[in-house]
Amino acid sequence: MELYHYIAGTLPVVISIPHVGTHVPGDILERFTPAAKQLPDTDWHVDRLYAFAQEMGIHILAATHSRYVIDLNRDPNGVSLYPGQFTTTLCPTTLFDGSALYEEGQEPSAQEIDERIERFWQPYHRKLASLIADLKQDSRRVVVFDAHSIASHVPTLFEGKLPDLNFGTDSGRTADLELVDELMAICAGSSYSHVLNGRFKGGYITRHYGDPAQDIHSIQLELAQVNYMEESYPFGFTPGNASKFQILLRDLLNHISKWAIA
């Protein structure tokens, strides 16, 4: 099975969707707990939510395999994104609610993790890195938009209800500050709540590829799933809510696209 789906665009803008995949190889899936087999922490339907970006000329790179196989948005060396806070690891062994992902004694060994890095993690990042490099040869600016979603209530990760849109730029290190301010202004004019560098400041992709000094800008957007889908199993897509949400997402990406080619 392909490790990612790539849709070529014409603009120096890339949407990376590392957590939308749902495929789990059988030898791994059979070791999961019943709860884990429902893949509750997937960024469900994010590729569908951003499908409109294809007609805008934006490149789209979406993973096919579950984040439970390996998390493409984690450091391959196992460095925590948020030291001192609960977060899942490169090859997760717990769900977001803190419960076990694997049946007892079935967790991956260090050797298996290394094999998963080579088999699943590296190809996605080779593609993303080469795409950025190719775009930078032809364009002054490149923007990587790392697209995510999460349930609006996850007590182990944050208190209360998550804002609708959660932008991360590693506290201003990964993207042009004026561009980010302009995106915040667009959100302020909408009916959706938003925050910049709150609980989610950007994962490995945002922090690793964002390099404003080289005019490579990376922004993570974590969406509260309640705005476009059902947050409980079977995690259905809600077209009516999604279409309203997409109006704002289109405005954001339209602004990013214009800025990237200015």
**Using one digit for the tens of pLDDT, what is the confidence trace for 38-68?**
999 999 999 999 999 999 999 999 999 999 9
Spans of all domains in the chain: 4-261
Least confident window among 22-36, 83-97, 146-160: 83-97
| Spatial distance between the Cα atoms of 19 and 129, rounded to a whole number of angstroms | 17
**What percentage of the chain has pLDDT greater than the value 70?**
100
Look at residue 136 in the predicted model and tell me its pLDDT. 97
Q: Does the pLDDT at position 83 exceed 80? A: no
With residues binned 3-state (H G I as helix, E B as strand, rest as coil), the percentages for the chain, rounded to 5, are 35, 20, 45
pLDDT in tens, 129-154: 999 999 999 999 999 999 999 999 99
Per the prediction, the chain carries an average pLDDT of 97
Name 59's bridge partners. Answer: 14
80 and 201 in contact (C-beta within 8 Å)?
no
148 within 8 A of 62, measured Cβ to Cβ: no
**Contacts with 216 (C-beta within 8 Å, 6 or more apart), sequence order:** 132, 136, 141, 142, 144, 209, 210
Q: Which are the contacts of 6, defined by CB distance < 8 A and separation ≥ 6?
A: 59, 60, 61, 62, 127, 131
Angle, helices 239-261/177-188, rounded to nearest 10 degrees: 150
pLDDT band at 119 (very low <50, low <70, confident <90, very high): very high
Q: Considering the entire predicted model, what is its pTM?
A: 0.97
pLDDT tens-digit readout, 178-208: 999 999 999 999 999 999 999 999 999 999 9
Give the integer Cα–Cα distance in Å for 116 and 90. 10
- 4-261 falls under which CATH superfamily? Zn-dependent exopeptidases (3.40.630.40)
CA 162, CA 64: separation in Å to the nearest integer? 26
pLDDT band (50, 70, 90) for residue 14: very high
Give the integer Cα–Cα distance in Å for 235 and 123.
Answer: 28
What pLDDT shows up at residue 86? Answer: 72
Rounded to an integer, what distance in angstroms lies between the CA atom of residue 254 and that of residue 258?
6
pLDDT reported for residue 80: 81
Share of the chain above pLDDT 90, in %: 95
Helix (H, G, I), strand (E, B) or coil at 178: helix
